[in-house]
Structures are given as C-alpha cells and as structure tokens.
Chains A and B, each alone.
Chain A
Amino acid sequence: MRAEIPTLLGGLALGITSALAQSGELTVPKSIEAGAAFSVQASGSGKGTLYIAGPGQFIKQDVQLGGSIEIASGSLFNAGHYSVWVTSDSSAQSGSIDVLPAQKPSDITFIAKPSRLPVALHNAITGSAYVFDAYGNLITKPMQVSFQLSNPGSTPQTRNVETHNGAAWTQMDSATREGKAQFVVRVGDVSSTRIVGQVPGDPCSIKMNAKSAGNKIQLVTDPVRDCSGNAIPDGTIVTFTQTYGDSKSTVDVPLKKGIASVEMPAQRGATISVASGVVLGNQIRWAQ
C-alpha cells in the first residue's frame, strides 16, 4: 500500500515519494529526494541516539524517543541507501531509507573526442555525457539530452538522445570545411561546450611545374589542397626526388603559403617526382 508521506506528516517531508518502511517501531520513509526534509518515528521514551549510515554520508543526532525526529532539509543529500538506527540504553530500533537524486539537472560532464581531426570523416567525433543534480548525484532517471555540433558556414548536426542510467553518447561527422566547431551538450537549462578543431585532410593530389634557372631546375607545386578543397597547412612536408642514372637525391620542403618550391641541379634525362605522405604527385623528365 502506498501512502503519500507529505499528507501523513502534514506536508513536512517534501519530496518523500514512496511508502513507509517499518522495522520494529522505527518508521522511516522508504525514499526521499536528495536534500529533502523528513522525519523518523521512534517509539519509547527518554533520550536516544539516531544514526544514519551509508557510504555516502553519516549522521549522528541526539533525539527524544516517542515522537517525531525531524531531519532538516539539506541534511541528507548524497544519493544512496542508508541504514537508520535509533538506540537508547534499553532499546534499539532500525530501518532504512533510499535517497534519490534530485530531478533537476544541475551539472553535466562532457567528453568530446578528438579535440582535433581531419575534415570529412564519418562518425569520427564522439561525445559522452553524465548528468548530475545540484548535490553531484548521478541522475539515473531517463532524461533527454541534446548534442549539437556547429560548424562555421554549415547546418548544425543535432542528435537528441535519452540517458540510460545517467549516461548519454553520440557520434558526429566532421565538416567538409576546416575550422573550429562548437560541440554543445544540453540537458534542461544546463549546457557544456567543447571546441573541436577540424583541419584539412591529406592532400588530394600534388602537381608540380618545372622551369630552367641557369644550371638548375626550379620546381614549384600548385597550391596543395585536400579532396574537399581545403588548403593543406603550411609546414606540411613535400618531398622532391630526383633520379639520375644510379644516383638519387631527395629534398624535403615545407609548404609555404600553400605551395612548395625548390631548386635542384639540372641534369639532362633526370626524372623528378613529388610526394607528400602517402600521396604521390606527378613526375617530370628533364630533357633540356
């Protein structure tokens, strides 16, 4: 049989949600919301001691037996299961109480990974979140959580997810354009934001041009871009390789303003190739 405690106790114990649990003469609400006031009924007379014990909290209080022992609002606030005892020289009474997380979210922990990644990757950005009340209790009751990834110049990606045991997660695609994306998780009035840097991917192709410069060849690439058209960042190494007969010479050049350039000795019949990472560009045979 369920009985509403606020009614029984004249509205004193706001937030008590379930039936009374009795052990001997000790009457304790079966559960309360974190931080709610409640009362314990102990039989007998004279003075006694109340103990409320759980891993999350411990309370000891001198009490008068035979009446209502009031536990003030804000006294018991860590969610969990608690053993309750009222002892005196001649008697011991026991019961138990569950403290439930408050329903209103107050904090959210949010981990977004990675913090930096190439553009145009499917489901490459993950977010996971845990939802807490004002006392730092994990809210295990299902709640709607919204994840939103906003990229500059494109429509935000949004996922609405229900928490399971206080946890929610999602996966998002990285944008096709480089830039910083805002990754926001929101539950109720609470939100948390992470910044995800999206950088160009590998070069899509590399094309170099060659021209004579006295007894040397000047080699210059076209602007190097990824397959989404984003400029590959300066500093990325481009490798020029010249093969002439049995000899091979290699020069590593960092991109500067999106292009790489180098001068190599002009040798008739030499073959010159260009590459960056695993991407191989065009090849030139020097005939002058």
Chain B
Amino acid sequence: METGMNFQVVWDNMAHFMVGRYPSGPMGGILLTMYLAVVSCILSFFGGLIMGLLCVSRNPAIRYATLAVVNAIRGIPLLMVIFWIYFLLPWVMGGPTPESWTVITALTLFTSAYMSQIVQAGIEGIPRGQMEAGMSTGLPHTTAMIYIVLPQALRNMIPSFVNQFVSLIKDTSLAFIVGVSELTHVGTQINNRTMVYPTEIFLFIAVIYFIICFAFTELSRWLERRLAWRKSI
C-alpha cells in the first residue's frame, strides 16, 4: 500500500475541478457548484420571504398551514427531498427534466423553509410599536408590513441569510446523488478513474469548500458586527 501523498493528480485535473468541461462542454466543478448555490439562494430568498410572511399572517388557517409545510420540510433529510423532486418533477412538468433542475428545485424548497424561519424571527424582532405607528397613520396592515416592518427586519436578517448561503453551498454537494457534475461529483469521477489517490482528491475538495464557505462565514460575522455597531449609535 502506498502511504505517501501525491497531489499531482489534483494539478492534472485542475481545469476539470474548476469548471468541468466548460466552455467546450457543459459547466461543472466549482463553477457549477456556485451556479447551483447562487440560483437556489436567489429563488429561496423569495420563497423564504413569502413563506415567512405567511407564517406571521393574521389569518390562523394560513399561518398554521404554512407552519405545517415549513416544519414538514425541516423534518426530513435533504436527501429525501431530492429523491422526491427527482421522482415528482418529471411528472409535474410532463416530461423528462434536466437533473440540475431537480437539484435547484429541491435546494430551493428545502432552503426556503429554513429562510422562512429567519424571516419570521426577523419580523418578530421588530418592536410592535413600528407596526402600530404605521397603522395609526392610516396604512393597511399589509402595506405597513411591506413598507415599514419588512425593510427594517430584512437588514437585521442579512447575516443569517449569508449563513444560510454557506449551508446551501455545502448542500449542493448532494447534487452528486442525481449525477449533476458539480465539485463533489467531479471528485468522485476522478477518484473512480485514478483509483489510488482518494486521500489527495477529497482533501483538496474539502479545502476548496472550506475556503469558499469560510470566506462567507467571515463575511456574515463582519456584517453582524457592523450591524451591532450601527444599532449602538
């Protein structure tokens, strides 16, 4: 058994790790990982916003129905959500759908549920007086929510959103299970081809994920400090 490490395999496949077969072929590697994460993040921001607002609705039927959906999604593993979507999306769309759609849909659904909790907590964190003042100047509840409470709440939520984005980047690795050639999938492919360098390959991939995720974690901490500072003045 060979015990020394040899990172030559990583250098030889660097382009594949970074962008897959792009631009002559489809996107892959880190590029696809970030693409999946960014698209799902944008979609689940709106998904989470809508679900979060429904969670604080004054209509108990809407509130409890949304909370039930949110808690159901939060109660099952992401892998299960991916299998469900893999299974149901072609049926809903009436034909075969690209695997990357499966992943984006599953990640969006899953992350929206978590984002809605952030939105809910953010709205509840704004003093009631804000809503009361808005309504006493004659604004309807919904308008006061959208123009007065939400803008203040959103600013406080930014660090949590960034943290959620970090989770999302990590979660894209599960796209490997349905054969989407993002970073993790590229790693397993190269590992299957070369056979003898699993340590080097997975260590390298771990470091790549770490660099990206750690950068965003630090950004979130910095935003949190800045927010705390702004509140203190």
Partners in one complex: no
Which B residues have a C-beta under 8 Å from some C-beta of A? Answer: none
Which A residues have a C-beta under 8 Å from some C-beta of B? Answer: none
